[in-house]
Chains A and B, each alone.
Chain A
Amino acid sequence: MIELVQQILNGLAIGGVYVLVALGLTTVFGILGIAHFAHGSVSMFGGCLTCFLAVSAGLPLLAAIAAAMAVGFVLGVAIELLAYRPVRGASHINAFIVALGLTMMVEGLNLQLFGHEQVVILTGLSRVFEIGGVTIPELRLYVILAAAALIASMTLFVERTRTGQAIRAVAENREAAILMGVNVQAIPLIVFGISTTLGVCAGVMVGSLFAIAPGIGEWLVVKGFAVLILGGLGSIPGAVIGGMVLGVTEALAAGFVSSAYKDLIAFAVMIAVLLMRPQGLMGKA
Chain B
Amino acid sequence: MMRKLTLAAAALAGAIAGPLGGSSAAAAERTLRIGVSDALTGGASVYGLPQANAIRMAADEINAAGGVKVGGDSYMLDVIAHDDKGNPTEATNAVRKLIDFDEVKYILGFCCSGAASAVASFIADEDAVMLVGNAAERSITARGIPNLVRTRPPADYTGAAAGAFVGKRGHKRVAVLGALDVGFYALYVDAFEKELNKAGGQTIARESFGLKDRDMTPQLTKIREMNPDALLVVGYVEPAAFIYRQSVELGMDIPRYGFTSGSEEQFLRVATSEQMEGVWDLRPTELTLQSATETGLACHRNYTERYGMPPSPSSPYAHDNVHALKHAIEAAGTVDDTRAVARALRELAPPSEAVMQYLPVDGKMFDRNGQAYTANGAFQWRGGKWVYVEELPSDAKAYSEFLASLR
A binding-site residues for B, Cβ under 8 Å: 3, 6-7, 10-11, 13-14, 107-108, 111, 116-118, 120, 126, 128, 130, 135, 137, 206, 209-211, 213-216, 219, 250-256, 258-260, 262-263
Contacts and interface: CB of A to CB of B under 8 A. Distances in A.
Contact of B210 (A3, A116, A263): A263
Interface string B209-225: 11110110111011011
A200 B114 CA distance: 33
19 contacts: A3-B221, A6-B221, A6-B250, A111-B45, A116-B45, A117-B269, A126-B272, A209-B215, A211-B214, A211-B238, A211-B242, A211-B270, A214-B43, A251-B217, A253-B218, A259-B208, A259-B218, A259-B222, A262-B218
Contact of A255 (B49, B208, B222, B251): B222
A259 B207 contact: yes
A259 B221 contact: no
A135 B251 contact: yes
A234 to B, nearest CB: 28
B180 interface: yes
Contacts of A107: 41
B41 A10 contact: no
A92 to B, nearest CB: 28
List 7 A-B pairs, minimum CB-CB distance, nearest first.
Answer: A210-B214, A254-B218, A215-B43, A260-B208, A10-B217, A116-B45, A255-B218
A262 B213 CA distance: 11
B215 A260 contact: no
Contacts of A118: 46, 238, 269-270
A255 B270 CA distance: 23
Interface of B: 41-43, 45-46, 49, 180-181, 207-212, 214-215, 217-219, 221-222, 224-225, 238, 242, 248-251, 266, 269-270, 272, 275, 309
B221 A7 contact: yes
Contacts of A213: 43, 46, 212, 238
Contacts of A130: 251
Nearest to B274: A126
Contacts of B242: 210-211
Contacts of B49: 116
B281 to A, nearest CB: 18
Nearest to B221: A6
B212 A219 contact: yes
Nearest to A116: B45
A14 B215 CA distance: 8
B218 A11 contact: yes
A120 B270 contact: yes
A7 B224 CA distance: 12
User: Of B180, B181, B214, which is in contact with the most chain A CB atoms at under 10 Å from its CB?
Assistant: B214
A211 B217 CA distance: 15
A137 B271 CA distance: 13
A255 B219 CA distance: 6
